[in-house]
Chains A and B, each alone.
Chain A
Amino acid sequence: MPRQRFKTLTEQMFYILLCLHEECRGVDILEMVRALTGGRVNIGSGTLYDLLEQFVTEGAIRETRAEGRRRSYIITEKGRQMLDQEYKRLLSQAADYDRVLGKGEPL
């Protein structure tokens, strides 16, 4: 069964929404995510385009302006809720890890 769309966020979805806490051009997100994660997370250009389209359809982000084909976006209230929900899920996972394996440094 395919997973329900956006019920949980992939790492790439998470960082796209995070970057859009303030208005920015879609095309700039590629470099922003690389800089933010020190190169650990790389988003493919096609994946970025597809996810931005899907986020707009879902109402998680909205287009703020367009200069030719260069479009800018910002996160919406719904997108912020999705991001917060994912953040809480990650915290909960980390808490479970701590409870089972202790709070020491991971191997």
Chain B
Amino acid sequence: MKETKRCICNFSFYDQHTIQEKLEDMAQKGWFLEKTGSFLWTYRRGAPKQLRFCVTYFPAASEFDPAPTEGELTKLDYCRQDGWELVARWGGMQIFSSENPDAVPIETEPVDPSPWGLDGAYQLQWDNDVLNGYLFFKGNRIVELTFYWEPTAEQLEQTARALFGD
């Protein structure tokens, strides 16, 4: 019997509710997230159980960071104190789980995950890590941009300013 299985990660990076539902469904079937990736996520077999998952974003984090920053670790401490255990990270995304069905959600105020503060902007992730596409929304204007590198928040902010002004 296989102890691990790999599934295609067919959801958008910022679609936190779909990711949470998928992980809760997998846990009920006895498969627990072990490792994330830009194309395949690895699950390990275990006893089926009801787990709650919570997906959050730490905009300052990057998949190129060799280790979590001090700020990210502090946030993880707060989450652990409130009953949420870190399961996996994926770039700026953190995935937590809790066995407490009444655990207070990690985020209780709306959060704009976009690090550059544009209204309604979001990132599209291609399977190819090298290609980074972004859709910028501002009023009734939509602009699609492609970068051949992972732009920093500052570069995105400068681009947004050039396109839309302050």
| Chain A interface (Cβ < 8 Å from any Cβ of B) | 2, 10, 12, 26-27, 30, 42-51, 53, 69-71
- In Å, the complex CA distance between A50 and B108 comes to 11
Q: How far is the CB of B106 from chain A (nearest CB, A)?
A: 4
B82–A30 CB distance below 8 A: yes
- In Å, the complex CA distance between A53 and B74 comes to 11
Q: Which of B74, B104, B105 contacts A49 (CB 8 A)?
A: B74
- In Å, the complex CA distance between A46 and B54 comes to 11
Q: Which of B71, B73, B84, B119 contacts A45 (CB 8 A)?
A: B84
A48–B78 CB distance below 8 A: yes
Pairs across A and B, CB under 8 Å, 22 listed = A10-B109, A12-B109, A26-B78, A27-B81, A30-B78, A30-B81, A42-B104, A43-B104, A44-B108, A44-B109, A45-B79, A45-B82, A45-B84, A46-B78, A46-B106, A47-B106, A49-B75, A49-B78, A51-B109, A69-B77, A70-B77, A71-B74
Which residues, 55 to 99 on B, are CB-close (under 8 Å) to A?
A: 56, 70-71, 73-75, 77-79, 81-82, 84
- Known A-B contacts A2-B119, A30-B81, A30-B82; the reply to A43 vs B74 at CB < 8 A is no
- For A53, what are the chain B residues with a Cβ–Cβ distance below 8 Å? 71
Minimal Cβ-Cβ distance residue in B for A53: B71
A46–B79 CB distance below 8 A: yes
Per DSSP, chain A at the interface is: helix
| Chain B interface (Cβ < 8 Å from any Cβ of A) | 56, 70-71, 73-75, 77-79, 81-82, 84, 104-109, 111, 119
- In Å, the complex CA distance between A48 and B105 comes to 11
- Known A-B contacts A2-B119, A53-B71, A69-B70; the reply to A45 vs B78 at CB < 8 A is yes
Minimal Cβ-Cβ distance residue in A for B78: A45
- For A12, what are the chain B residues with a Cβ–Cβ distance below 8 Å? 108-109
- In Å, the complex CA distance between A43 and B109 comes to 8
